[in-house]
Chain A
Amino acid sequence: MSLISRGFQRRREVEASPDRVPPGQYVTNDFPVLSAGPTPRISAEEWRFRVTSERGEETTWTWEEFSALPAEAVKVDIHCVTKWSKLDTDWRGVSVDTILKGVGSSAAFATAHSYGGYTTNLPVVDLTGGKAWIAFQYGGQPLAPEHGGPARLLVPHLYFWKSAKWIHRLELRDSDRPGFWESLGYHGYGDPWKEQRYAGD
């Protein structure tokens, strides 16, 4: 048994209704920066985004080509496994549906690879159907490197570690393969409403 520290409380900043916030989360106005490594600084010139299909075919976009794709505004709530949630965040990004349109693939799984080496895995059905974006603006501004700029994956219905910052490649696969945190014990899917934080949750 641990000694209770008189008057000590978990930080809680904003009250929000329980139907809006998944169990175990608290709402913050900040946008905490969570990083597992140094922040990559990638210029628009050197930036590339690739999709590789399960058959090894590769499609590459330069920043210019990516910027020419139709983008949309997205207002969503985001939920981090470290227990903060942030409501009504404003993004602009290219839907993953748009990205995958020209890519012939029937793969069921994907691994997102980031500049800096981070990886995370997701089912393709969670990336399609208007549920995920490659986001390049936040709050009307170009996405800052700290928050994953030039561009990051945005999959708001899953815990935020799935929304890989500094996305570089989307690898479409026939089989699922755990990413960085998933291979260490974090949940393979990560639904915040079911509190799927750890494998087995």
Chain B
Amino acid sequence: MERTALRGRLTWLEAEVVQLVQETARVKTIVFRVPGWTGHLPGQHVDIRLTAEDGYQAQRSYSIANANNNEHVALTVEAVENGEVSPYLVDELVAGDRIELRGPIGGYFVWEPSLGGPLQLIAGGSGLVPLMAMIRSQMSYASPVRTNLVASARSWEELIYRDELEKLSRERDDFDVVYTLTRSQPHGWNGYGRRIDKDLLAASTFAVEEAPLIFVCGPTGFVETAAAIMLELGHQPGGIKTERFGPSGG
């Protein structure tokens, strides 16, 4: 028996690509079928492992984008320029390919119904991925909590999930989204067009009195900035949960 199969250990599972969705020019959602998957909570991630012919291995983390759904795990990956792993996932994988992954991983950056709300989500670039899993999950519950999302992207074209977010915000009273487009804005844009700052977050997030649960995710610099501002606005440190994806892409 493999040693990794011991209780509580994570085992590498074979995941088969079943669907690919082009989200933006450089971002794809890759849906895997993972026999043996035991389900996940919104906010959790997986480790993926690639192995070359010569035995060389590379391992990276990717957040789970979908609500718990049997054996299906959806990842949304941005192809980072000169990246070793992300361009492979985005440009090479086709339906039927198999890779290894293990998970679900994480117990801190997760939202469960028992935690309640309201839910304040703040996303930079692909940091939207785990927050989208929270939105998707809790919108399917009987009594969803009020949710507000601030999403920062370089441009409208580079904003992932935008059709789904637009639809949700039109159709649901309990869901609001505020966009800020940092590099370029479409003609006639009347949303924000700058990097997040104190005024922007003060105007577009739940007030301190509402005691929101705050989740911030994105490139490291973005997360540091957003978390510091939320503290400055008077939110409790324990109420702000953060997850950093690494060097800045957006």
Contacts and interface: CB of A to CB of B under 8 A. Distances in A.
B98 interface: yes
Interface string A1-15: 011111111110000
Given A8-B52, A8-B88, A3 B14 contact: yes
B99 A3 contact: yes
A3 B100 contact: yes
Contacts, number: 40
Chain B, interface size category, equals: 10 to 19
Contact of A2 (B51, B82, B97): B51
B173 interface: no
Contacts of A9: 52-53, 56
Contacts of A7: 88, 92
Contacts of B50: 5, 8
Interface string B80-95: 0010100010001000
The secondary-structure label for the interface of chain A is loop
Q: Which of A2, A5, A7, A30 has its CB near the most chain B CB atoms (within 10 A)?
A: A5
Contacts of B92: 6-8
Interface in B119-169: none
Nearest to A30: B82
A8 B97 contact: no
B100 A10 contact: no
Contacts of B51: 2-5, 8
Q: Which of B52, B92, B97 has its CB near the most chain A CB atoms (within 10 A)?
A: B52
A4 B53 CA distance: 6
Contact of A3 (B54, B82, B98): B98
Interface of A: 2-11, 30
Interface of B: 12, 14, 49-54, 56-58, 82, 84, 88, 92, 97-100
